[in-house]
């Protein structure tokens, strides 16, 4: 079983995300990936309204990832951390969701962040 968390911090005008996946199960978990991308993330305006938020950034958009298949094994009781950076976001309040881009394992987390 995989649990996930994400932390966000603004450093030199960039929003830096650290997405940590923990294996809380009794067996190692091997995650398979179609390419070099390990995580994806989206940021949406967080304006506390009931309507659907507008997506303003997606980590994978416009990025090139290696085209090689890959795997990551998370040992029993172990964890893996993946980083993603949103360069120079506009000031505002955002809801950020991050998830593992594996084809055979699910883990996701979200956080809210304020960019000044």
CATH of the domain at 66: 2.60.40.2360
Number of domains in the chain: 1
Q: Give which of 23, 21, 56 is closest to 41, Cα–Cα.
A: 56
Structural domain containing residue 6: 2-115
Tokens 């067996």 correspond to 27
pLDDT of residue 12: 95
User: Distance between CA atoms of 37 and 25, rounded to whole angstroms?
Assistant: 24
pLDDT tens column, 59-102: 999 999 999 999 999 999 999 999 999 999 999 999 999 999 99
pLDDT tens column, 22-55: 999 999 999 999 999 999 999 999 875 555 678 9
* Residue 95, SS3 per DSSP: strand
pTM (predicted TM-score): 0.91
């Amino acid at each position: 079983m995989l649990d996930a968390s994400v932390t966000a911090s603004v450093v030199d005008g960039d929003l830096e995300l650290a997405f940590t996946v923990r294996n809380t199960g009794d067996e190692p978990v091997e995650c398979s990936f179609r390419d070099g991308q390990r995580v994806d993330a989206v940021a949406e305006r967080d304006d506390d309204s009931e309507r659907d938020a507008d997506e303003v950034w997606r980590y994978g958009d416009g990025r090139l990832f290696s085209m090689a298949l890959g795997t990551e094994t998370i040992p029993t009781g172990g964890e893996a951390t993946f980083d993603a950076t949103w360069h120079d976001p506009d000031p505002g309040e955002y809801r950020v969701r991050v998830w593992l881009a594996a084809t055979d394992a699910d883990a996701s987390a979200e956080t809210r962040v304020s960019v000044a």
